[in-house]
Amino acid sequence: MFVPSHYRAPDVSWMVDLMRRNPLALMASNGTPADGPFATHLPVITDPGWAGEPESDLAGLPLLAHLNRANPHWAALENGTAVLLSFTGPNAYVSPTVYDINPAAPTWNFTSVHVHGVVERIESSEETLDVVRATVRAFEQDFGDSWDMSRSIDYFRRIVSAVGAFRVRVTKAEGMFKLSQEQRPEVRERVVRSFAGRGCTRHAQTAELMDRLP
């Protein structure tokens, strides 16, 4: 991903936070010349057993993910397969009317993290079940209502044979936080006010990130 220097993540925590808040990633990997590349949307979490601190490019960070084994993408994933995980964060269209200057051009403010990594397949049913449980715990904590999964574990065991789980060992990551940094402070403030007044969660979240810029 091409990231101009003024759009780089202010700190590694910005990339980690975007991935946690927007965990449905698009995973892409090479396919055959006949089939072309594979691409699958899937939920991704940080391995809860990892207790380290992320490097500035997230190298070494272990991620967990799973998909349907019936998906041809699963059959194409071998140990050592290089994958790209694309996480998309808050984004919004910027109309030139907000700039209050002429000439001007429209643009789109957006945030994204591209994670490069290597696949480690998880073959055992019990480890696959652990990934499912870890994913439920992470998402119930961040997005749900602390649902108690204990009464559904037997159901999980019945369906886990259809689940393909794997780790991704991150080799590097790049964050793009295009938030009007190239504009003058008064113009950025007008963009923030415009987004905050739209009554839309996506616009409000983009405005919040713009306010957090150093």
Q: What is the pLDDT of residues 147-197, one digit of tens each?
A: 999 999 999 999 999 999 999 999 999 999 999 999 999 999 999 999 999
Nearest to 188 by CA among 98, 89, 90: 98
Q: What is the pLDDT of residues 104-124, one digit of tens each?
A: 999 999 999 999 999 999 999
Positive or negative torsion for Cα 37, 38, 41, 43: negative
d(CA 117, CA 173): 9
Query: Mutual orientation of helices 185-196 and 201-212 as an angle, nearest 10°?
Result: 150
Q: What is the pLDDT of residue 102?
A: 87
Q: Is residue 25 over pLDDT 90?
A: yes
Q: Are 66 and 128 in contact (CB under 8 A)?
A: yes
Mean pLDDT of the chain: 96
d(CA 50, CA 87): 20
Q: What is the pLDDT of residue 41?
A: 98
The predicted model gives 42-70 an average pLDDT of 97
CB atoms within 10 A of CB 172: 14
d(CA 210, CA 109): 10
The gap from C-alpha 51 to its chain's centroid, in whole angstroms, comes to 20
Q: What is the pLDDT of residue 54?
A: 95
pTM greater than 0.85 (yes/no): yes
d(CA 31, CA 131): 26
CB atoms within 10 A of CB 113: 25
Q: Are 177 and 8 in contact (CB under 8 A)?
A: yes
Q: Is residue 100 over pLDDT 90?
A: no
Distances (CA, A) of 114 to 23, 29, 69, 131, 206: 12, 13, 24, 22, 18
Q: What is the pLDDT of residue 35?
A: 85
Q: What is the pLDDT of residue 32?
A: 86
Q: What is the pLDDT of residue 206?
A: 98
Positive or negative torsion for Cα 161, 146, 48, 91: positive
Lowest mean pLDDT of 26-30, 55-59, 101-105, name the range: 101-105
Block residue for tokens 């794997």: 166
Residue 56 CB partners (closer than 8 Å, separation 6+):
12
